[in-house]
Structure 1
Amino acid sequence: MAPDAHHGKTEPTDLPTVVIVDDAVEVRTLVRTRLRLSRKVTVVGEGSTGRDAIELAGRLRPDLMLLDVSMPGMDGLEALPKVRASSPDTRVAMYSGFEETGLADQTLELGAAAFFEKSTPLETLADDLLSLLPGEDRTVQLSAPDDRRAAAVEPVLKEHLERFREVFEDAAIGMATMTLSGRIVRANPSFGRLVARDADELVAESYADLAGEDAGLVGDALAKVVSGDRDVLQIEHRVVTRLGDRRLLSTISSVRDAAQRPVYLFLQVQDVSAQREVEEELRLSEQRFRLLVETVQDYAIFMLDPDGHIASWNAGAQRIKGWTADEIVGKHFRNFYPEEKQLERHPEHELELAIRDGHYEEEGWRVRKDGSTFWAQVTITAVRDATGELIGFAKVTRDITERRQWLLEQEQAARALAQANAALEEVNQQLSHAAEDQSQFLGVTAHELRSPVGVLGGSAELLRRHWPDLPDEERVELLDGMTSSAARLQRLLKDLLTASRIRSSSIELKQSDVDLAGALERIARSIGRARPGEDIELRVPPDLTVVADPDRFAQMVENLLDNALRHGAAPVVVEARPHHVTVDILVTDSGAGVTDAMRDRLFERFATSSEGGTGLGLYIVRALARAHGGDANYLPDDGAFVITLPLASAGATEKRTP
């Protein structure tokens, strides 16, 4: 929680008081400055969480509060009733980047005096807030009118957002956006059908509450994604609907701003109830079948004398083998074996092994009275009296012809099923990766564009109209914000265009001989101007020339330096190590290095750590390096990212396509 800062300006003390609560410091700075310049209200406090809002309301009891919907820890929807209870006379206006009519209606039901979208022009914000005070006659808009919103949003961003909404609304898979505490802000029709509710009814509902007994599981998953412990987390859980319980497979991912702070959560949901029911029925069916096979069996049980002659015969033996007791007792048991086995004296050998080992087991072909054969499972046990003298053998024979055939068929079926499952798993993985890539691309791009465009537009308008009224420190703050926002837009657009061309194999390189030391010095100076105070040290031998496209070479090195400055620690060192026909360009920093969990995914598209980012920088570096006939890797022993490129003396320059 941060107190209001007035930057040297004295404001009237009899004006209505306002508290601003938003987790984005640049948004608070812009709104605070706009309200101060209006000279119609006094900003007396600022906070960044729902808990800050409750504490400020109770301590300051302001006339007005501007409260963000989505914040970490406790969001605005959860905090709103507690703010009203802590300071009943405070008029609360909810403030959000979500554009959803149902959300506005829900906030009013929870006690808000109004709902403003963050696309609302700031020049009317003070008047809109004042109109909420008792005795004012003006009616407050729940959201910005279309003409005001159109003026506040860049055409390119507006077109992108419209396309995102179309994909969102028409998607066959259930989708929803949520606050950081898991409250639904917007749901598409497919999501509503999955939980048997209208999509509008779900606004402000806690997703964990829909999970019933699995609420804890959902809550833990939400916490892991918000904390950055997991970028994307997939869980399976129940939901309680009016039509009964369902099993859902939920994929939760966070959308973060350029500072890697979570802005909101994105949810994708699939109904796996039918699949789980089929799997359970199959399991029960297999269990019943197995019990049937194990329990419904016929056994031939009879005794042999020490020489192998049949001494007794049971009904099961008669059913399996076909002889009656009168016909078989006294005869040698070799009669049950095929002729070739008799010639081999295999029956006598079985008895010898049973005497030696105590028992003998085997499976093999046996002969019935009518000459037909069956596959038998045989156990012969040597029987001895109390003195240890052999008195005969107990023989148990089981007809497993059908079982043997079934096992053979099952083995064939199992092999076929394994092949089918492997193919299905590969397809599922491809579909899952495609869906994750699409949702990650849409979420990252929308928010990477929204924040810098909003800051550029708002700051430029503020400086144009109120330059003489602004103190130097506020001008510097606003200009610094515009500079960093413009740089972020340029990097994002350049990376998106390059990634698109890589995917479509349409990158063409205009290669030439590039002086390595000179090129690296120019890149370091350029980054130094954009990031004052950043320390970049060059260790490059003179007279090294590489074969490269100069622009693409600069993009590769800039991406590695941006990665080191964003995620590592100063100083950053760029070193060149020449080899026979190639040169390694290493970028190292003094940070902790890459975690084991991230190393295998470093150069994948959209691979991000808990610190965020678009996940395109390193992917582009490797793709461009390979297009030049080189490569890009991470050396864990050195803690360095390395680009390998051909030296100019290694061969003729040529045009390459990745």
Structure 2
Amino acid sequence: MKIEINSDKISSRERFLEAIVQSAIDYAIISMDLDGLVTSWNEGATRILGWTAEEMVGRPATAFFIQEDREVGIPQREMTAALTKGRGSDERWHLKEDGTTFWASGEMMALRAADETVIGFIKILRDRTQERDQADRQRLLMHELGHRMKNTLSVVQSIATQSLRNAASLDDAAEKLQSRISAYAKAHDILLQQNWMSATLRNIVEAAKVNIGLEGSDRIKVEGPDVELGPQAALSFSLVLHELLTNASKYGALANSDGYIEMSWQIEQRADEKYLLSSWREIGGPSVGDPARKGFGSRLIVSSLQAYGEAIIRYDPGGLVVTVEMPFSKIQFRNDLAQIDN
């Protein structure tokens, strides 16, 4: 009996499968012979890798593996895994026609004839660079979050310890602790509104005024251009301004009805570096002199400011004067997401 094969049916089926492969433009679908030479290359492979089918058919599939992987035989390992285990998984960097790299996820499988004879391989991969970048950023953000939490807890612990140590009574300690932590929290709120990238010096000043109940006061005169502060500098400035305003309210220019505060800053270019020059000047308050004993607030002001540049505190008879000179490289954000990290 003679069996006739309907070539039209086979041809139609092949065209149908070819159409499916070519329409899968989000996937590179590549077939190879037993020597690893490309035998077919779909439209998705062209979109992802850059080479056209005409350029790649007949060439080694190792062309889109990076040099380091070719040197250690990664393509051959994938073929071996496809033969012995059924498939070879692929999670690595690959090379595009223009020389750039991308992160690919895919698999290689043995291509078999109807009699189960291995006639080649088929490799399917997808560009996962965006997903990998997102995962990397997520890990980096979690690392930064942990770092910030440790810093915050360290600062709060120091504030609590020193507030209790230097307080005249438990009520005094509670008041100081609450107000200092509140000032620190408000600076955090400002930074969070800007994705923890920066806060303006003016916003930090205004938040400090609000925290101590002096918002809208015409006895605090503020003047200066817009200056962006990095996260750590913004937090430090918030604590410094809180201490200065608290001291001014209790003992300085705001302790009577006539005194006032002038806070100003400017930007100065020095050689290849910009500097922030700022001054805090109390005028018209009670006469002041060098304190016999410097408390936590005074030490906090000095140590916080000197971490970013030069700070000078003078107890002039007419009122407290604080001047600072800080290079922008120390007070502004230095990408720790490349910096996000610290």
TM-score grouping bracket, smaller chain normalisation = 0.3 to 0.5
TM-score after normalising by structure 1:
0.24
- Normalising by structure 2, we get a TM-score of 0.44
